[in-house]
Structure 1
Amino acid sequence: MLSLGSIFPTFKKTAVVSLEKGKEFHDITSEDHKNADKWMVMFWWPKDFTFVCPTEIAAFNAKYDDFSDRDAVLVGASTDSEFVHLAWRNNHDDLRGLKFPMLADTSKSLAEELGILEANEKIAYRVTYIVDPQGVIRWVCANDLSVGRNVDEVLRVLDALQTDELCPCNWKQGEETLNV
């Protein structure tokens, strides 16, 4: 698995960005967040039309403004196609109003380069990356297929990374950092 300190791979993928006819799809690239001088939080899920995945996607969407306030671009991704993403968004109440793109890695090339494909089905594990504006991976968290992640923890880590200081265990935004 590609990890801390590595440069996030270069990519250009189609994503679902809207439910409006004719405006559903847009290409997302690895340069988008860098060109905007923003952090990127990319989170992967195994499959559309499943059970744990929509709870995570809805939780990230509920915190979208919190990521945006931290100058972070939020991107959701799986190895399903953009057409499956669109169908799922149209058929799931919690996904219709998503504010972030659902990236389609149908070739599985990005997931493979990241090293996050499950061996048997070749679906992505539940992996979250925080990437700084220079494209460097600063945090990775991987969950087993059956366990959802904690969006508040992703925000907490993003806050800590953005202080560029030493943050103690369980540190939260607004608390003192370590002075050494």
Structure 2
Amino acid sequence: MTQNRILSVGSTFPAFTKQAVVSLEKGKEFADLTSEDHKINDQWLVMFWWPKDFTFVCPTEIAEFNKNYDEFRDRDAMLIGASTDSEFVHLAWRQNHEDLNKLRFPMLADTSKSLAEELGILEANEKVAYRVTYIVDPQGIIRWVSLNDLSVGRNVAEVLRVLDALQTDELCPCNWKKGEETIAA
């Protein structure tokens, strides 16, 4: 089994233009997203990947990110969910899953798997994305990567904690939380 090299901290996030589901409103369901969208407004990017639509662990994560959407927005972060499923599958899933039909962030469709492949996050056998979360700064540099196996959901509170820590641009000790003292070196 050959594993890809995962694009990690310090690397430039790859350039992309992909279709995404952005609404359930007829005629306004889809839009193009690019790697430049978050930079235009000097925002951070939080992109989280899941393996497959219409599965069991994935909607719990997507719903939790959605519950925390305002927390990401308050931190000047653009939130994007992504998988290798098509925009049409994303739309059908949103329409048919109660926890997903009021999503406030786009569901990116990487049907060619080109972005997932460039990131190095495709599982070797099924060629679906691992549960990976990227935090990318406004200049497009990856500042944090978290990768979970296919069967284990991530912790959205930890993503927010790390985003807070990165945005201080200071030294943050173990288990640091927003509002706590940072380390003076």
Q: Which residue in the other structure is 2:3 paired with?
A: none
Task: Return the TM-score normalized by structure 2.
Answer: 0.97
Shift of 1:36: 1.1
Shift of 1:20: 0.2
What residue ranges of structure 1 are gaps of 5+ in the alignment?
none
For residues 115 and 149 of structure 2, what CA distance do their matches in structure 1 show? 19
- Candidates 50, 66, 90, aligned match of 1:61: 66
- Once the two structures are superposed, residues 110-130 of structure 1 have per-residue CA deviations (whole angstroms, 9 ceiling, x without a partner) of 000000000001000000000
The structure 1 segments of at least 4 consecutive aligned residues displaced by more than 4 Å after TM superposition are none
Structure 1 vs Structure 2: percent identity of aligned residues?
Answer: 82
Q: Which residue in the other structure is 1:51 paired with?
A: 56
- Once the two structures are superposed, residues 9-49 of structure 1 have per-residue CA deviations (whole angstroms, 9 ceiling, x without a partner) of 00000000000000000000000001110000000000000
For residues 12 and 35 of structure 1, what CA distance do their matches in structure 2 show? 15
Q: Which residue in the other structure is 2:133 paired with?
A: 128
Which amino acid is the alignment partner of residue 130 of structure 1?
Answer: I
Task: Return the TM-score normalized by structure 1.
Answer: 1.00
Which amino acid is the alignment partner of residue 56 of structure 1?
Answer: E
Q: Which residue in the other structure is 1:159 paired with?
A: 164
Q: 2:12 matched to 1:7?
A: yes
What residue ranges of structure 2 are gaps of 5+ in the alignment?
1-5
- Candidates 23, 27, 32, aligned match of 1:27: 32
Shift of 1:82: 0.1
Please report the RMSD computed on the Cα atoms of aligned residues, expressed in angstroms. 0.2
For residues 14 and 149 of structure 2, what CA distance do their matches in structure 1 show? 23
SS of residue matched to 1:93? coil
